[in-house]
Amino acid sequence: MKPIVQISLDLTNIDEALETAALAMRAGVDWLEAGTPLILAEGLHGVRKLREAFPDTPIVADLKTMDGGYLEAEMMAKAGATHVVVMARAHSETIKCVVKAGADFGCQVMGDNMVCEDMVAGAKFLEDHGCDFVIHHIGYDERRGIAAAGHPMPSPMDQLREVVQAVDVPVQAVGGLSLEQAIECPKHGAPLVVLGAPLTIDADSFKTADGDIESSLRMICKAIHEQA
């Protein structure tokens, strides 16, 4: 799989999300993600607005489904999502329902292994249940809480190689990665690179003289796509 750049629109206002999405698409981003904060703030209205504005762009709806799998996946697909997210910690029947809805409504399923006791086994569990992608994910609260307790902050990079080796579906690494680490993900076997928005371009090699975020993002996309 060629490297793909996905931008996570973790915003709480659809107008700001649309503006950021337009900037990202001009810069070369491939996929848009209606992040969990955006869906909480705007509901599926936010997904519909993204679909209206970008009719041909893959859109990930990151609702982090834990139950009611078929209905939630159906609703997201009908709102315009091409990819939905189900959690490995959900019941196996929920994952099966999301996968069934994905097949029925033409939507691919991304399985998220966040908070699995065994992250590698969680990734394999998701693949075995029919997920099209695995999101190898260390959560925000988990990272901050462990660091606050004086322990090294966990990173998806810690077990990324093991996760990639355990599954045959494409892998995405998420959670606290530096910009440099995100760009390097395809070299570690994780071709689906997610960048967060609001955008923080803080790597020296990708700063522009005038602080132009769009130009910086264009350089980042180029660096990722060139790994194909």
Average pLDDT over residues 110-118: 97
Burial of 36 (0-12, 13-18, 19+ CB in 10 A): middle
| Position 209 pLDDT exceeds 70 | no
Determine the 3-state secondary structure of 72 from DSSP: helix
Provide the residue range defining the domain that includes 24: 4-225
Q: Rounded to an integer, what distance in angstroms lies between the CA atom of residue 144 and that of residue 83?
A: 28
Write down the pTM of the prediction.
0.93
Q: Rounded to an integer, what distance in angstroms lies between the CA atom of residue 10 and that of residue 206?
A: 22
Q: What is residue 132's DSSP assignment? A: S
Percent of the chain with pLDDT over 90: 88
CATH value at residue 94: 3.20.20.70
pLDDT for residue 199: 60
Q: Rounded to an integer, what distance in angstroms lies between the CA atom of residue 77 and that of residue 126?
A: 20
pLDDT for residue 210: 56
Contacts of residues 156-162 at CB distance under 8 Å and 24 or more positions apart, as own/partner, are 157/181, 157/188, 159/119, 159/120, 160/136, 160/185, 160/188, 160/189, 160/190, 161/188, 161/189, 162/119, 162/120
Q: How many structural domains are present in the chain?
A: 1
The more confident residue out of 200 and 31 is: 31
Q: Rounded to an integer, what distance in angstroms lies between the CA atom of residue 135 and that of residue 163?
A: 10
Average pLDDT over residues 130-136: 98
* pLDDT classification of 211: cutoffs 50, 70, 90: low
101 near 73, Cβ under 8 Å? Answer: yes
39 near 67, Cβ under 8 Å? Answer: no
Residue owning tokens 């029919």? 130
pLDDT in tens, 22-77: 999 999 999 999 999 999 999 999 999 999 999 999 999 999 999 999 999 999 99
